[in-house]
Amino acid sequence: MRTILITGCSTGIGHHAAHFLKSKGWRVFATCRAQDDVARLTSEGLESFRLDYEDPASIEAGFNETLARTGGTLDALFNNGAYAIPAAVEDLPVAALRQNFEANFFGWHDLTRRVIPVMRAQGTDGKGHGRIIQCSSVLGLMAMPWRGSYNSTKFALEGLTDTLRLEMRGTGIKIITIEPGPIGTAFRLNARKQFDKWIDWQASPRADQYQSSLVPRLYKAAEANTPDPFELGPEAVSAKVLRALEAPNPRAHYYVTTPTYIAALSRRFLPQRLIDRMMAKI
């Protein structure tokens, strides 16, 4: 049975992907940050244990637990768990940005580096075997206002993943990026928690802008569960993950949702000044 380790499975994309891939015959190790969520996922019939990107000890323990259960092999890794700290860049504390990079970037790199030697050692004809899928974002292709922390982690992830893909050519290890746009998850509610923790928006010179745009979006829209334009459910991402796992020659990038396709085309064909004008209105 093919095996996959998935992070960030408590809700949203990771939760759906774990159940979906299990239904397709994969043995899924569905990890998450909180022990209470581990218990819930286990009650749902998934194999679950704790793995928190901000806790290096839990990354090591989660990785070791995976290999203990598989006998030392792993067919695929889906790096997925991430969150945003919405704010104007000038109001973003350095400590907040560091924490966000730990969760969205450095922890991913730690886990990926642990997986690569395992994948190198398996396979046939002197080549390794395995697939590493990174869940990036439309915000790794094009920046949007108020999302500087998340934008920067995803732009960094795009660069690191593209480099890794080039370096893994010929090894039998496939490196793939999934690029979701707006997906119906608890992402905005989680972002609100980070906003409350880190951002003193009332003391900002942009307080009026926060009051008129970002705060209503984080609170009223989140509580009302108002969908974004072109928003899809997490099943749209799971479908692309399955294609990335099972295609004989997977693509380097899989786009999900109309905004992601628009962003990719805009970067390719439109001048930056026009892109800036478009994005500033969002």
**Per the structure block, which two tokens stand in for 175?**
């490196």
Q: In what order do the strands lie in the sheet with 3-6?
A: 47-50, 27-32, 3-6, 76-79, 130-135, 173-180, 253-256
φ and ψ at residue 3, rounded to 5 degrees:
-120, 145
Which of left, alpha, beta for 121 (phi over 0: left; psi -120 to 50: alpha)?
alpha
Residue of 86, 87, 97, 95 whose CA lies nearest to 205: 87
Q: Answer yes or no: 219 catalytic.
A: no
Q: CA 182, CA 152: separation in Å to the nearest integer?
A: 18
By CB neighbour count within 10 A (0-12 exposed, 13-18 middle, 19+ buried), where does 271 fall? exposed
112 touches 132 (CB < 8 A):
yes
Of 53, 150, 254, 255, catalytic: 150
102 touches 53 (CB < 8 A):
yes
Q: CA 65, CA 246: separation in Å to the nearest integer?
A: 25
Point out the residues that are catalytic: 150
